[in-house]
């Protein structure tokens, strides 16, 4: 298929070969001199190489290598030596021999173009191929004149059309756009400096309040502009586990019935402890630009708030410390860590930089707090009081969880702080409400309020169904849907202090209940199922959602709800095993 009379296309690439060989090419040529000297010693010691050469020469005189198409003149010039592999011929020697060929010989060889040439894996097409003694003879025969085909097919080789094979273009040459070897070299070139993804930064100012709404402190934080980062270049993994609400309730249930101490800890500037494995550059922050070097950038070694990999870097840093201390990460929830030493048990719940620690050993707990203070900047918040926006209140019968501050802030955001409360979150027949076909003019406002209601369901199972019903209308809310949303807010207005309670006088027996309607959605004819699970008398988890497929009967809808309940029970059982509950 390609012209291979010259090896390897010396006429095409002769101008690209440098006068002095490169270090790699010189080392390659030096290896052949060692091979030649070793072969000479072998011949002097009386090996069988000469016998093989004699047999091969006699064979080449009597028998063509590539069939009947080889002329006698070319066969006399072909001398094959099995003891000298073709790969041992230096490229420089081949080029020199090709250049010494007379013009007459070149024109005579050019007139005898083969139809096809032998590739690395295929035999010539259109010729009568005779058995070859070995694979090495096939390789050696490619340096001789190729066969002349008598096949009537017109090929590119017969027409004088040829193109170089890229597999043989291995000569080293200078590139037109060299790449920098070091960062210092890249910074000297304006083109590479412009290509570098240097992130910006900004200062963010916040006022942090306590659970009762009073002032806690002022916070000023430098945040990197991570929205300019490119995946695969500036960061790889970003996922960081978040604790499940059912896991938090299960741990609080155990701590309540066992009378364990519940401590709350906070890590100061948690993301700043994470170690970066990627190369990230950032401009000098505003107000702290070095006057002598205003154009210099910062090379980040630690993670910053705003970087996409900061949550994962912090979680890896903290989880590795816990594992070295003796904790074991729960398989059911990666944010739960359990440490068992002798007969002492400690449980730690981690949610970003907030953590809750409980256990039956005060000594082991104090040792953990000392080690945490050595490795990180910790803040001891004392007894559990305000965690994940949930207020915890201890009483004689157990623990009470609620979100009164969050509910009041939600009413203030919706402009319904002084609205009239109602007794139920939804009417009896919400599908029959008026204005079903009129679209709401501000769907973004509707989605914002509906999304904030979902977080309130962490301690309010009484509004789980109504919030789920309203959230199903997010894609195209109507005026009727907005009236239903306002009714839920009016219900919250009269029940801001409601929540869930954990009684200490109960056991750890797992119970679950499920229910479902049939074709409750008039648009899709799908059913809505729900369940709730209890540990003793304490509510642990609940759910209410539309089923993914249409149920043909009410029995099928009930079985689908039971299937989801069984999945939740299986997960809770595995979680209790990690906690050591029999």
Coil, helix or strand at residue 396: coil
- The DSSP bridge pattern shows strands 281-283 and 198-199 to be parallel
Mean pLDDT value across residues 482-511: 94
Calculate the average pLDDT of the chain: 78
Report whether pLDDT(172) > 90.
no
Report whether pLDDT(462) > 50.
yes
- Torsion over CA: 459, 396, 387, 324 (sign): negative
Backbone angles phi, psi at 530, to 5 degrees: -155, 160
Mean pLDDT value across residues 468-479: 92
Counted residue by residue, the chain has a size of: 582
Look at 173 and 121; give whichever has higher pLDDT. Answer: 173
The per-residue DSSP string of 408-449 comes to: HHHHHHHT-TTPPP-S-SS-S-GGG-S-SSSBPS-HHHHHHH
Report whether pLDDT(419) > 90.
yes
Q: How far apart are CA 400 and CA 98, in angstroms?
A: 94
Kindly report the pTM of this predicted structure. 0.65
3-state secondary structure 279-294: CCEEECCCCCCCCCCC
Task: Please tell me the chain's helix, strand, coil percentages from 3-state DSSP, rounded to the nearest 5.
Answer: 40, 20, 45
Q: How far apart are CA 124 and CA 332, in angstroms?
A: 64
pLDDT band at 184 (very low <50, low <70, confident <90, very high): confident
| Residue 37 CA: distances (Å) to CA of 23, 140, 453 | 22, 20, 86
Mean pLDDT value across residues 355-377: 90
| Residue 290 CA: distances (Å) to CA of 10, 108, 173, 395 | 58, 75, 43, 56
Report whether pLDDT(355) > 60.
yes
Q: How far apart are CA 381 and CA 354, in angstroms?
A: 10
pLDDT the model gives residue 550 = 95
* Domain ranges within the chain, ordered by starting residue: 10-168, 201-397, 506-582
Answer for the pair 295, 280: CB distance below 8 angstroms, yes or no. Answer: no
| Residue 11 CA: distances (Å) to CA of 94, 125, 168, 393, 534 | 12, 26, 13, 90, 85
Residue 275 bridge partners (DSSP): 302
Q: What is the DSSP letter of 276?
A: P
Half-sphere exposure of 398 (CA within 13 A, CB side): 20
pLDDT the model gives residue 16 = 54
pLDDT band at 441 (very low <50, low <70, confident <90, very high): very high
**String of b and e for 326-345 (b: at least 16 CB within 10 Å)?**
ebebbebbbbbbbbeeeeeb
Dump pLDDT digits (tens) for 535-559. 999 999 999 999 999 999 999 999 9
pLDDT the model gives residue 447 = 95
Q: Which of 500, 435, 430 is nearest to 462 (CA)?
A: 500
Mean pLDDT value across residues 310-315: 92
Q: Which of 433, 416, 430 is nearest to 490 (CA)?
A: 416
Q: How far apart are CA 533 and CA 543, in angstroms?
A: 9
**How many other CB atoms sit within 10 Å of the CB of residue 2?**
16
pLDDT the model gives residue 531 = 97
pLDDT the model gives residue 107 = 43
pLDDT the model gives residue 135 = 47
Q: Which DSSP helix (H) or strand (E) runs through 368?
A: helix 362-375
Dump pLDDT digits (tens) for 254-270. 999 999 999 999 898 88
pLDDT band at 147 (very low <50, low <70, confident <90, very high): low
Dump pLDDT digits (tens) for 37-95. 555 554 445 444 444 444 444 444 444 433 444 344 443 444 433 334 334 444 444 34
pLDDT the model gives residue 50 = 43
Tokens for 121?
Answer: 């894996």
Residue 22 bridge partners (DSSP): none
Mean pLDDT value across residues 461-479: 93
Q: How far apart are CA 167 and CA 117, in angstroms?
A: 15
Coil, helix or strand at residue 322: helix
Q: What is the DSSP letter of 132?
A: P
Report whether pLDDT(428) > 80.
yes
């Amino acid at each position: 298929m390609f012209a291979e009379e010259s090896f390897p296309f010396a006429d095409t690439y002769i101008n690209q070969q440098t006068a002095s060989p490169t270090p790699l090419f010189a080392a390659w040529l030096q290896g052949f001199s060692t091979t030649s000297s070793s072969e000479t010693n072998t011949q002097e010691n009386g090996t069988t190489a000469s016998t093989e050469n004699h047999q091969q020469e006699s064979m080449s005189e009597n028998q063509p290598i590539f069939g009947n198409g080889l002329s006698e003149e070319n066969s006399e010039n072909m001398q094959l030596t099995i003891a000298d592999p073709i790969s041992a011929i230096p490229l420089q020697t081949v080029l020199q021999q090709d250049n010494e060929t007379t013009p007459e010989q070149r024109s005579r060889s050019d007139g005898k173009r083969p139809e096809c040439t032998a590739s690395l894996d295929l035999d010539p097409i259109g010729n009568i191929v005779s058995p070859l003694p070995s694979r090495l003879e096939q390789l050696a025969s490619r340096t001789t004149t190729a066969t002349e085909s008598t096949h009537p097919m017109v090929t590119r080789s017969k027409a004088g059309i040829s193109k170089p094979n890229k597999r043989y273009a291995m000569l080293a040459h200078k590139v037109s756009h060299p790449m920098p070897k070091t960062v210092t070299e890249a910074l000297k070139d304006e083109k590479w400096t412009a290509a570098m993804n240097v992130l910006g930064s900004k200062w963010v100012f916040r006022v942090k309040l306590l659970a009762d709404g009073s002032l806690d402190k002022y916070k000023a934080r430098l945040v990197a502009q991570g929205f300019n980062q490119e995946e695969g270049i500036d960061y790889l993994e970003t996922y960081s586990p978040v604790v499940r609400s059912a896991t938090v309730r299960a741990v609080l249930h155990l701590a309540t019935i066992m009378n364990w101490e519940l401590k709350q800890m906070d890590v100061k500037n948690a993301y700043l402890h994470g170690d970066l494995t990627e190369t990230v550059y950032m401009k000098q922050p505003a107000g702290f630009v070095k006057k002598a070097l205003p154009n210099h950038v910062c090379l980040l070694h630690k993670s910053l708030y705003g970087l996409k990999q900061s949550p994962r870097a912090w979680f890896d840093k903290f989880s590795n410390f816990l594992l070295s201390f003796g904790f074991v990460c729960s398989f059911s929830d990666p944010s739960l860590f359990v440490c068992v030493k002798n007969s002492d048990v400690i449980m730690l719940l981690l949610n970003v930089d907030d953590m809750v620690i409980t256990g039956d050993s005060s000594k082991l707990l104090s040792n953990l707090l000392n080690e945490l203070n050595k490795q990180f900047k910790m803040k001891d918040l004392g007894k559990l009081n305000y965690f994940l926006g949930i207020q915890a209140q201890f009483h004689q019968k157990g623990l009470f969880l609620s979100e009164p501050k969050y509910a009041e802030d939600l009413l203030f955001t919706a402009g319904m702080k002084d609205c009239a409360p109602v007794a139920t979150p939804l009417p009896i027949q919400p599908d029959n409400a008026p204005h079903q076909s009129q679209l709401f003019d501000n769907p973004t406002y509707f989605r914002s309020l509906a999304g904030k209601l979902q977080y309130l369901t962490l301690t309010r199972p009484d509004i789980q169904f109504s919030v789920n019903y309203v959230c199903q209308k997010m894609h195209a809310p109507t005026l009727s849907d907005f009236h239903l949303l306002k009714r839920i807010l009016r219900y919250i207005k009269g029940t801001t202090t409601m929540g869930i309670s954990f009684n200490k006088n109960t056991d750890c027996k797992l119970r679950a209940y499920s229910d479902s309607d049939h074709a409750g959605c008039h648009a899709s004819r799908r059913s809505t199922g729900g369940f709730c699970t209890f540990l003793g008398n304490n509510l642990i988890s609940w759910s209410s959602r539309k089923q993914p497929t249409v149920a043909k009967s009410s029995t099928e809808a009930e079985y689908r709800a039971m299937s989801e309940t069984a999945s939740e029970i299986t997960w809770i059982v595995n979680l209790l095993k990690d906690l050591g509950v029999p």
